[in-house]
């Protein structure tokens, strides 16, 4: 019969697969680095951001891809290892940074639009008396009302933006309001580079150098400011506003046209830019603006201790559960149970190999998926073994029973596993982040378990139930009494029909 | 042995007993939910969660509460995580306040603090996704069974699934564990499992269904016989799944343990409902359908 040869071929294939898995787990790299761990097990920051447009229009996939690119450059400039940046759905991006726990800085840096613009100032208000921090909003409201009455203000054509300068040592905040055109005359893409530097007084600032074309645009803008100031009878009093993300960062007076020059963002009133602000500006200006605005949806920071605890408890749970299932199968199914145990061990090893080879990042929900898939894998064996026992009770020889059990049990397993796969796919399609880890591992586990239960267990059983072994009914956990009573029941059932 | 006892049970005929037993559990579950005992986490509403781990000196929940800056202690929900940890849940905080709370907790309790914050927008999205996922699962499952079996089977399976969802959620409410995204995942997984169990029984009923037309006594006897053939398998399968789940419940940290709890209740309810709800419901629906067609026949005649 060809089936015994088929069994040997399947077992040979399994040995090869185990070899491949062993290569991926143990030999390609150190075994401790083999499995890629998620942030919830390793510690780090994970942020989920959603892109949106100021005017409410739809965010396109291309814009998000550009944004992801810019975010990657910014995260890289933080100097962290292996950040992970993924687009999710139409307009979301997930940023995972292992090992970093300074959430605020990381998130601020990632999510800052960094839209830079240079404007001609049309009207100014405020900017004299410093006020305490809690009064800033009230002052802004007053300034807005004042500027809306200014002849330079035209609804739709212009906008009102504010500059806040915090004085050192609790000296309060100076608030100025500006009427600016709706669109900037020169944009951030005119920049060639941005670097931190110190001015003559040794105060920290960020210097921006224009590209050749950008320099010309900036020169034209400065010329216009000078000309308009002259026309208005206030020569030398024209102001330029440097705006970053809706905030005026500085508004220097321009008394002559500047071509091909350098512009800097500084804060002389407050003793220069704070160190972290200067670094951040350098990074966001250097990497360019995000094509969309970003809203932070969720931020998770996991400490390394918590991650390690979670990993340890998850592993203990998985191993204890796995061990008990192995024991249970042997108690109930005797020799068949041993075969199933061997198949389950092969399953577990191949699953690990797959996780390393693909690679799948293991997260806490992922561990739950693996644990559940152990149940699924064991169950496929149970379904088939119960069938085999049933056939033996009906008086079939163990060998025939194995063949019949597989034929009939397979349909039930297929239907059952399909429902689990459907659940996994729905979870994957309709969820984000961590839940996906669960869905992926459950699905991979279910598919692999079909292979081990149907191919591996079958081949092993084929060998065991072969002529040389002499598998008896008692060895698979069927008592003589139940064989007799099953026969009686079959007769009864025939009668009922 | 258990199989001997199960051999003499009338699964289909004594449906009133089985349904009454379920009704009792359902009543408790619905009561717990109606009393507002469900303890929603930050996933659906937005908010912040601070997980304090590795504390020394074993402080009380009140001490943890006092460690919160300002009057946040009044709004926060503090849960102890065994000897050296707490989960502290607060409403949505303002920009930068997360860091303030984290630093305060780290300093006062001398521990590592992990933070999760979710914006209300995202909470709304997660809620919508969760409801969509459950609805999609139910619809696809009905279609799947209708195609693989027939509509009567789908109705019966659906009834069993609703039973399982209600009991799982109800028990969650009863013990006051936190309901979050993971709970929804657990409920969906329970759906898959319970359905699997039901399908195994239905598969046997389908296989045993005689070619001859429908007859209630014959169908019920056949259904009973089918259940008897697979009942041990159902129980073994559940045990195979419940063993690792119980390990998760005992050894896993809070997320895994919450997940395992939902699965434990759900899978136990699912095993019961496949045997004692789905099959009798199928029999009752078939009988009702047969009664209706025979009435129609009588009317036209």
Q: A124 and A268 share a domain?
A: yes
Q: Where does A29-150 have alpha helices with state H?
A: 31-34, 39-42, 61-77, 103-111, 136-148
Residues A375 and A453 in one domain: yes
Q: Which residues of A touch B247 (CB under 8 A)?
A: 316-318, 320-321, 324, 371
The confidence score (pLDDT) of residue B238 equals 86
Of A48, A371, A390, the CB nearest to B244: A371
Question: Which run of H or of E encompasses B291?
Answer: helix B279-300
- CA-CA distance, B62 to B116, in Å (whole number)? 22
CA pair distance B97, B117, nearest whole angstrom: 11
**Residues of chain B predicted below pLDDT 70:** 1-7, 83, 297-301
pLDDT at residue number B25: 92
Cβ pair B98:A313 closer than 8 A: no
User: Has residue A411 been placed in a domain?
Assistant: yes
- Number of structural domains found in chain B: 2
Q: Is residue B30 part of a domain?
A: yes
What Cα–Cα distance (Å) separates residue B171 from each residue in B27, B178, B258, B268, B299? 11, 12, 12, 12, 48
| Whole-number pLDDT of residue A495 | 45
Question: Please, how many CA atoms are within 13 Å of residue B177, restricted to the half-sphere of its CB?
Answer: 21
CATH number of the domain encompassing residue A393: 1.20.1640.10
The domain boundary, picked from B92, B118, B144, lies at B118
pLDDT of residue A497: 43
Q: Which of A315, A18, A108, A291 is nearest to B244 (CA)?
A: A315
- State the smallest CA–CA distance between residue B1 and chain A in angstroms: 11
Q: Residue B114: its chain A contacts at CB < 8 A? A: 300-303, 306
**pLDDT value for A1:** 44
Distance CA B173, CA B269 (A): 16
Test B252 with A432 for CB contact under 8 angstroms.
no
For residue B144, the domain's CATH number is 1.20.1640.10
Chain B residue numbers with beta carbons less than 8 Å from the beta carbon of A382 are 233, 236-237, 240
Q: Are residues A329 and A356 in the same domain?
A: yes
Is A311 found in the same domain as A174?
no
Contacts with A, B 55-84, CB within 8 Å? none
Q: Note whether B24 and B149 are same-domain residues.
A: yes
CA distance A59 to A113: 14
Domain for residue A413, yes or no? Answer: yes
Q: A291 lies in a domain?
A: no
Query: Are A411 and B203 an interchain contact pair (Cβ–Cβ within 8 Å)?
Result: yes
- Say yes or no: B75 and B88 in one domain: yes
| Residue B64 is assigned to a structural domain of this protein | yes
Q: Looking at the domain assignment, is residue A95 inside a domain?
A: yes
The answer to whether A478 touches A488, Cβ cutoff 8 Å, is no
CB contact under 8 A, B114 and A306: yes
CA distances from B71 to A123, B75, B101 (A): 43, 8, 11
Q: Which domain holds residue A481?
A: 3-37+303-496
Task: Flag if B144 and A411 touch (Cβ within 8 Å).
Answer: no
Instruction: Tell me, yes or no, whether B109 and B248 share the same domain.
Output: no
Of A50, A386, A419, the CB nearest to B233: A386
Give the C-alpha distances (Å, rounded to integers) separating A423 from A409, A481, B146, B191, B194.
22, 41, 17, 8, 12
Same domain, A343 and A405: yes
Asked whether the beta carbons of B290 and B242 are under 8 A apart, the reply is: no
In this structure, the answer to whether residues B91 and B51 fall within a common structural domain is yes
Q: Say whether B40 sits in a helix, a strand or coil.
A: strand
Q: Is there a single domain that holds both residue A189 and residue A98?
A: no
Which chain B positions have a beta carbon within 8 Å of A386's beta carbon? 230, 232-233, 236
**What was the pLDDT predicted at A346?**
94
- Give the residue-averaged pLDDT of A104-109: 78
Specify whether A107 is located in the same domain as A157.
Answer: no
In a domain, A298, yes or no: no
- Give mean pLDDT, residues A401-415: 80
Please state, for a pLDDT cut of 70, what percent of chain A lies above it.
90
The Cα B124–Cα B135 span in angstroms is 17
Nearest Cα residue in chain B from A492: B225
> Does pLDDT of A246 surpass 90?
no
For A156-191, write each residue's pLDDT tens digit.
888 899 988 777 777 788 888 999 998 888 888 888
Contacts with A, B 2-31, CB within 8 Å: 3
Asked whether the predicted pLDDT for residue A368 surpasses 60, the reply is yes
> What CATH number did the domain enclosing B69 receive?
3.30.70.3400
Distance CA A402, CA A400 (A): 5
Count the Cβ atoms, other than its own, within 10 Å of residue A158. 20
> Are both A230 and A177 inside the same structural domain?
yes
Given an 8 Å threshold on Cβ–Cβ distance, is A430 in contact with B195?
no
Provide the 3-class DSSP secondary structure of residue A192: strand
Asked if residue B255 and residue B128 are part of one domain, the reply reads yes
Q: How far apart are CA B27 and CA A201, in angstroms?
A: 77
Q: Is the pTM of this model over 0.90?
A: no
The CATH number of the domain holding residue A165 is: 3.30.1360.200
Considering the domain architecture, whether residues B89 and B215 belong to the same structural domain is answered as no
What's chain A's average pLDDT? 82
| CA A184/CA A168 separation, integer angstroms | 31
Give how many domains chain A has, as a whole number: 3
- Residue A472 φ/ψ, nearest 5 degrees: -105, 165
Q: ipTM greater than 0.85, yes or no?
A: no
Residue A18, pLDDT above cutoff 90: yes
Q: Determine the residue among A133, A393, A423, A496 to mutate to test chain B binding: the one whose Cβ has the most chain B Cβ atoms within 10 Å.
A: A423
| Residue A374 placed within a domain | yes
Helix (H, G, I), strand (E, B) or coil at A475: helix
Q: What is the dihedral of CA A492, A493, A496, B2, to 10 degrees?
A: 80
Q: Do B188 and A371 touch (CB under 8 A)?
A: no
Residue A261's pLDDT is 67
How high is the pLDDT of residue A490?
54
Question: Per the CB < 8 Å rule, is B144 touching A419?
Answer: yes
CA distance B276 to A492: 23
> Quick one: average pLDDT of A110-139?
84
Stated as kind and residue range, the H or E segment containing A297 is: strand A293-302
Whether the per-residue pLDDT at A292 is higher than 90: the answer is no
Q: Are residue A134 and residue A51 in the same domain, yes or no?
A: no
Cβ contacts of residue A27 below 8 Å, gap of 6+?
A: none
A-B C-beta contacts closer than 8 Å: 209
Task: Report yes or no on A289 lying in a domain.
Answer: no
Q: Which of A343, A368, A393, A494 to mutate to test the interface with B (most CBs of B within 10 A)?
A: A368
Nearest-Cα distance to chain B for A359, in Å, is 23
Indicate if the pLDDT at residue A305 is higher than 50. Answer: yes
Chain A closest CA to B14's CA: distance in Å?
19
Contact B45, B123 (CB under 8 A): yes
Residues A30 and A93 in one domain: no
* Average pLDDT estimate for A75-81: 76
Range of the domain at B280: 10-40+122-292
Spatial CA neighbour of A403 closest among A389, A381, A383, A388: A388
Residue B117 forms contact with A (CB below 8 Å): yes
> Using one digit for the tens of pLDDT, what is the confidence trace for A437-495?
888 898 999 999 888 887 888 888 888 776 555 566 666 666 666 655 555 555 555 54
C-alpha span between A286 and B63 (Å, rounded): 47
Claim to verify: residue A134 and residue A8 sit in the same structural domain: no
Q: Which residues pair with A84 in a beta bridge?
A: A96
pLDDT at A489: 55
Optimal mutation site among A371, A450, A492, interface B, most CBs of chain B within 10 A: A371
- Residue percentage of chain A with pLDDT more than 90: 11
B141: which chain A residues are within 8 Å (Cβ-Cβ)? 419, 422
Tokens standing for residue A343: 């198949």
In the predicted structure, residue A39 carries a pLDDT above the cut 80? yes
Per-residue pLDDT, averaged over A2-13, amounts to 81
Across the range A209-215, mean pLDDT stands at 86
Tell me how far apart the alpha carbons of residues A55 and A60 are, in angstroms, rounded to a whole number. Answer: 14
Same domain, B80 and B226: no
Q: Under a CB-based contact definition with an 8 Å cutoff, are residues A38 and A370 in contact?
A: no
């Amino acid at each position: 019969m060809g089936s015994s040869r088929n069994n040997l071929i399947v077992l040979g294939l399994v040995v090869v697969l185990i070899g491949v898995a062993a290569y991926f787990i143990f030999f390609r790299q150190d075994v401790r680095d083999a499995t890629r761990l998620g942030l919830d097990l390793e510690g780090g920051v994970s942020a989920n951001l959603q892109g949106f447009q100021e005017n409410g229009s739809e965010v396109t996939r291309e814009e998000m891809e550009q944004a992801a690119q810019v975010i990657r450059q910014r995260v890289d400039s933080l100097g962290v290892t292996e950040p992970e940046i993924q687009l999710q759905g139409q307009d979301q991006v997930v940023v995972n940074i292992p090992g970093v726990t300074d959430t605020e800085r990381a998130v601020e840096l990632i999510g800052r639009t960094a839209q830079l613009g240079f404007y001609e100032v049309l009207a100014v208000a405020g900017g004299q008396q410093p006020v305490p921090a809690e009064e800033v909003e009230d002052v802004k409201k007053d300034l807005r009302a004042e500027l809306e009455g200014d002849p330079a203000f035209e609804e739709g054509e212009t906008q009102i933006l504010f500059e806040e300068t915090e004085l050192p040592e609790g000296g309060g905040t100076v608030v100025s309001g500006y009427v600016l055109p709706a669109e900037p005359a020169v944009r951030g893409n005119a920049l060639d580079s941005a670097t931190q530097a110190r001015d003559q007084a040794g105060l920290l600032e960020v210097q921006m150098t224009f590209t050749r074309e950008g320099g010309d645009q900036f020169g034209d803008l400065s010329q216009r400011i000078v000309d308009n100031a002259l026309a208005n009878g206030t020569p030398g009093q024209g102001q330029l506003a440097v705006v970053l993300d809706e905030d005026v960062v500085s508004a220097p007076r321009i008394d002559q046209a500047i071509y091909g020059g350098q512009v800097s963002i500084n804060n002389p009133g407050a003793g220069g830019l704070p160190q972290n602000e200067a670094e951040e500006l350098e990074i966001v200006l250097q990497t360019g603006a995000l094509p969309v605005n970003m809203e932070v949806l969720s931020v998770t920071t996991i400490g390394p201790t918590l991650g390690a605890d979670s990993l340890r408890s998850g592993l203990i749970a998985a191993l204890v559960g796995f061990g008990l299932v192995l024991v249970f199968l042997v108690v109930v199914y005797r020799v068949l149970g041993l075969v199933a145990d061997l198949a389950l061990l092969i399953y577990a090893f191949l699953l690990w190999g797959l996780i390393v080879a693909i690679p799948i990042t293991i997260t806490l929900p992922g561990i739950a998926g693996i644990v559940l898939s152990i149940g699924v894998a064991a169950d496929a064996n149970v379904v088939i073994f119960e069938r085999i026992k049933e056939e033996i009770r009906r008086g079939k020889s163990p060998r025939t029973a194995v063949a019949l059990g597989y034929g009939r049990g397979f349909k039930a397993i297929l239907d059952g596993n399909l429902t689990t796969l459907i659940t996994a796919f729905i979870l994957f399609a309709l969820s984000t982040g961590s839940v996906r880890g669960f869905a992926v591992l459950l699905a991979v586990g279910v598919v692999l378990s079909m292979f081990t239960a149907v191919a591996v267990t079958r081949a092993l059983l084929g060998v065991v139930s072969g002529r040389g072994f002499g598998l008896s009914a008692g060895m698979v956990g069927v008592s003589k009494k139940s064989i007799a009573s099953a026969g009686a029941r079959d007769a009864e059932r025939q009668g009922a029909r | 042995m258990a199989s001997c006892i199960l051999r003499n049970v009338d699964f289909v005929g004594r449906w009133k007993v089985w349904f009454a037993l379920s009704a009792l559990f359902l009543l408790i579950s619905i009561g717990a939910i109606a009393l507002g005992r469900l303890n929603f986490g930050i996933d659906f509403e937005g908010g912040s969660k601070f997980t304090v781990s590795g504390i020394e000196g074993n402080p009380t929940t009140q001490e943890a509460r006092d460690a919160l800056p300002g009057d946040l202690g009044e709004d926060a929900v503090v849960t102890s995580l065994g000897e050296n940890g707490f989960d502290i849940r607060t409403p949505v905080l303002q920009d930068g306040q997360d860091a303030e709370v984290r630093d305060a907790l780290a300093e006062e309790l001398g521990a590592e603090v992990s933070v999760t914050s979710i914006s209300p927008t995202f909470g709304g999205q997660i809620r919508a996704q969760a409801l969509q996922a459950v609805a999609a699962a139910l619809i696809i499952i009905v279609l799947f069974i209708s195609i693989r079996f027939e509509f009567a089977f789908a109705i019966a399976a659906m009834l069993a699934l609703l039973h399982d969802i209600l009991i799982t959620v109800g028990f969650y409410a009863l013990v006051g564990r936190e309901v979050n995204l993971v709970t929804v995942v657990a409920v969906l997984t329970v759906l898959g499992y319970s359905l699997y169990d039901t399908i195994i029984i239905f598969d046997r009923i389908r296989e045993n269904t005689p070619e001859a037309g429908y007859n209630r006594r014959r169908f019920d006897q056949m259904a009973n016989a089918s259940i008897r053939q697979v009942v041990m398998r159902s129980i073994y399968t559940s045990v195979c799944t419940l063993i690792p789940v119980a390990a998760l419940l005992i050894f896993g940290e809070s997320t895994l343990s919450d997940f395992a709890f939902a699965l434990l209740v759900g899978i136990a309810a699912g095993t019961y409902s496949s045997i004692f709800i789905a099959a009798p419901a199928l029999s009752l629906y078939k009988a009702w359908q047969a009664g209706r067609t025979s009435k129609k026949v009588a009317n036209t005649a």
